[in-house]
Amino acid sequence: MDSAVVVGAGVLGACVSYHLARAGVRVVVVEAARPAAGTSGATFSADVTHLKTPYAYYRLNRQGSEEHRQLSAALDGPAWRRPAPLLQWADDDAAHQALRARASRVRGWGHACHLAPPSVLRDLAPAVDPAACGADEIVVHTDTCWFDAPRFVHALLDAAVRHGAETHHGVTVTGLTRTGGRITGVRAGARSWSADTVVNCAGPGARGIAALAGVRLPLRQVPGLVIESEPLAGGPLTAIVAAPGIDLRPTPGGGVLALSWDIDARLGGTAEPVADGLPQELRRRAATVLPDLARARILDARIGVRPVPADGLPLVGEAPQAPGLYHLVSHSAVTLAPVLGRLAAHEITTGRAAAALAPYRPDRAAPDDVQDENLRAMDDRRPHAAP
């Protein structure tokens, strides 16, 4: 394997490009807009390992999280990986029991989390209004973090370029070339690039790239709104907070990023302009937990589109109808990118299948026992869109 074209420069495209280039492959990255312009630039990007089941998928996410630590130390110091405790609570008994059950499950898997009285909020997240937490106990995850995803993308792409990768931005792939039965390159208007392997890292656009080769990827598009504030007057948010109806985390600029599944459930099926009033509604919700936010300016409101495989698990590898076209698509891909990018590059360069990727082949029969809680949270709140 000498050459690869990677379609898309989000977290997955950047990561696989880095590993391929490092292994000596001639890499061309073709990106329709600019690096991190897609979902990786409009994401909550917390470490979501604790939400993942079954165990093999939890392990994969944990490996992703660990490899962030290693890559960040090797390439960028601690800058894109931001350690912070994760604090969760619920407002009704059923939701609280679900949180407890999850904490107990992941603790059994060696995950660092414990139950604590809400008074710990004073130390761990002084910006949070203690009165906002009506629960008797909260779940505290101690060894977790959020990610500055655009910074991660740029660090990995820069490293790929140092290893010889070529990048083309503002270039949309519109066709694939086939030689015999094999995909052997991409077309973008009048331009084209040939390669031994084309890697489909187009995120929510991955279904369109697959369709160019006659492959049907079971992928949904699930939009989400995030707002970003200026720094809070009374001091920074020092934790990731998952409170009923609202998720919050710090931003690289010292402000707050907010997301609400309930608001996301009201968005349409694809990328769309941010409707008037929605960022303000999201800010009002967030300010019930972080009162200082009521007075902080909203610097940005973005809608990102989650690429969500029908069963919630990643889609990784070639489909039998189109050898030469390797798919690398996942929800929660910020957490997973280091491990998926590394394993995919290994498969592509050696031709040897990685056992850890066996459950995630694009042509698998969808299992019916998937319990990815991210996926459940989405489906509980929005009508089920056809994959």
Ligand X SMILES: Cc1cc2nc3c(=O)[nH]c(=O)nc-3n(C[C@H](O)[C@H](O)[C@H](O)COP(=O)(O)OP(=O)(O)OC[C@H]3O[C@@H](n4cnc5c(N)ncnc54)[C@H](O)[C@@H]3O)c2cc1C
Question: Which residues bind to ligand X, rule: CB under 6 A?
Answer: 7-13, 30-33, 37-40, 42-46, 48, 172-173, 201-205, 209, 224, 226, 259, 304, 306-307, 329-335
Residue count of the chain, please give it. 387
13 vs 85, which CB is nearer to ligand X? 13
With CA atoms as reference, report the closest residue to 271 among 38, 13, 103, 106. 38
> Based on CB atoms, which residue is closest to ligand X, 33 or 120?
33
Q: How far is the CB of 100 from ligand X (least distance, A)?
A: 22
Got the DSSP string for 12-73? HHHHHHHHHHHTT-EEEEEESS-TT-SGGGS---B--GGG--SHHHHHHHHHHHHHHHHHHH
Residue type, 323: P
Q: Which is nearer to ligand X, 330 or 349 (CB)?
A: 330
| CB 228 to ligand X: min, Å | 12
| Minimal distance, residue 47 CB to ligand X, in Å | 7
The span from the CA of 264 to the CA of 223, in Å, is 7
Residue 78: burial class (beta carbons within 10 Å; 0-12, 13-18, 19+):
exposed
Nearer to ligand X, 133 or 303 (CB): 303
Nearest approach in angstroms of CB 11 to ligand X is 4
- In the chain, what is the straight-line distance between the N-terminal and C-terminal CA atoms, in Å? 33
Name the residue among 383, 211, 219, 242 with its Cα closest to residue 312: 219
Nearest distance in Å: CB 378, ligand X: 10
Closer Cβ to ligand X, 195 or 209, answer by number: 209
As given in the structure block, the two tokens for residue 271 are: 């990328």
User: How near is the Cβ of 122 to ligand X at its closest, in Å?
Assistant: 26
Q: Which two structure tokens, joined as six digits, stand for 288?
A: 């019930």
Which CB, 118 or 332, lies closer to ligand X? 332
Q: How far is the CB of 23 from ligand X (least distance, A)?
A: 20
Q: Which is nearer to ligand X, 47 or 292 (CB)?
A: 47
Q: Which is nearer to ligand X, 38 or 85 (CB)?
A: 38
HSE value, Cβ hemisphere, 13 Å, CA-based, for 319:
22
Q: How far is the CB of 173 from ligand X (least distance, A)?
A: 4
Query: Which strands form 3-7's sheet, in the order they lie side by side?
Result: 166-169, 26-31, 3-7, 197-200, 325-329, 315-318
Q: Which residues contact 110 (CB under 8 A, 6 or more apart)?
A: none
Nearest in space to 205 (alpha carbons), one of 12, 49, 337: 12
Of the two residues 125 and 340, which places its CB atom closer to ligand X in the complex? 340
User: Strand, coil or helix: what is 220?
Assistant: strand
Closest CB to ligand X among residues 258, 290 = 258
SS3 321: coil
Query: Is the separation of the CB atoms in 206 and 327 below 8 Å?
Result: yes
Q: Which of 250, 244, 243 is nearest to 83 (CA)?
A: 250
- Minimum CB distance to ligand X, residue 303 (Å): 8
Q: What's the min distance (Å) between Cβ of 123 and ligand X? A: 24
